[in-house]
Amino acid sequence: MGFAPERIEAIVFDVIGTLVDEETAWARSARAVAEVAGLADAGPFGARWAELLEQRMDAVVSGDAPWRAHRQLVGEAARQAVRDVADRPGVGPSANGSGDGRELLDAVAEIAGAVDREYAAWPEVAAATAALRRTRVVAGVSNGDLDSLARVANASAISWDVVLSTGAVQTFKPDPAAYRYAIDALGLDPALTLFVASHPWDLRAAAEHGFRTAYVARPGAERPSVDDRFDLEVGDLSELAERLG
């Protein structure tokens, strides 16, 4: 069936990266951690931090590790990343920081764990989500913790009817349970619902549950592969609102 914008009754947004600038917030947090930990360079820490967080979330999705709140995993990954980077010649702690003290690592985890509350929305998000919400149900579905999502929305005037955290079902996207949760909690008909994300992997998983899909390009985001077939591809949410009429 061809895509018919007028048939879309609800829009479900991924949040981190799609509605808010993830990369800038993480870079800022990595610099803050590097300063506190006495690391010579925030770059290696930031890369290792992201890698370890992905591994921890994947372990939860696969069932190899118990669920823990996203903020907790972010902090744990940062603590381990500091340890790992400090062992590498040339990027370890400077003379004024040991890098392995308990208090220092606790401070690292606290700084890192706050990153989910510090995202800023992309410039067009407030106006575009408000426009879309005039004619359709608008929701967010995120791996972030619910309290962080509420504060981010308040700070950036994101307009939605509800935001759901996958923490409610103790998993993370792309676990199928995350998408079933959204469908069941909101009573959605996936065929009449547009799932919007800047992550092709998220859209692929959503499509497996019958959602219509829209890719929104964001700086630094992964691009769709040649095999991806999304219903829409847009440059930002203003274009999405225009395409949906």
Q: What is the pLDDT of residues 13-68, one digit of tens each?
A: 999 999 999 999 999 999 999 999 999 899 999 999 999 999 999 999 999 999 99
User: Per the structure block, which two tokens stand in for 88?
Assistant: 């590498």
Question: Which 3 state secondary structure label does DSSP give 122?
Answer: coil
pLDDT band at 245 (very low <50, low <70, confident <90, very high): confident
Per-residue DSSP letter, 144: S
Q: What is the dihedral of CA 68, 72, 77, 82, to 10 degrees?
A: -150
The mean pLDDT of 65-75, rounded to a whole number, is 97
Determine the pLDDT at residue 102: 79
Closest of 36, 31, 48, 27 to residue 98, by C-alpha: 36
Determine the pLDDT at residue 101: 74
Question: Which 3 state secondary structure label does DSSP give 178?
Answer: helix
Domains of the chain as residue ranges with CATH: 5-21+119-244 (3.40.50.1000), 23-117 (1.10.150)
Are the C-beta atoms of residues 191 and 170 closer than 8 Å to each other?
no
Taking the whole predicted model, whether its pTM rises above 0.85 is answered as yes
Determine the pLDDT at residue 88: 56
Residue 156 pLDDT exceeds 70: yes
Q: What is the pLDDT of residues 84-143, one digit of tens each?
A: 998 654 444 443 344 447 788 899 999 999 999 999 999 999 999 999 999 999 999 999
* Torsional sign, CA 167, 170, 172, 173: negative
Q: What is the pLDDT of residues 163-184, one digit of tens each?
A: 999 999 999 999 999 999 999 9
For residue 228, what are the contacts with CB-CB under 8 A and spacing of at least 6?
200, 203, 204, 215
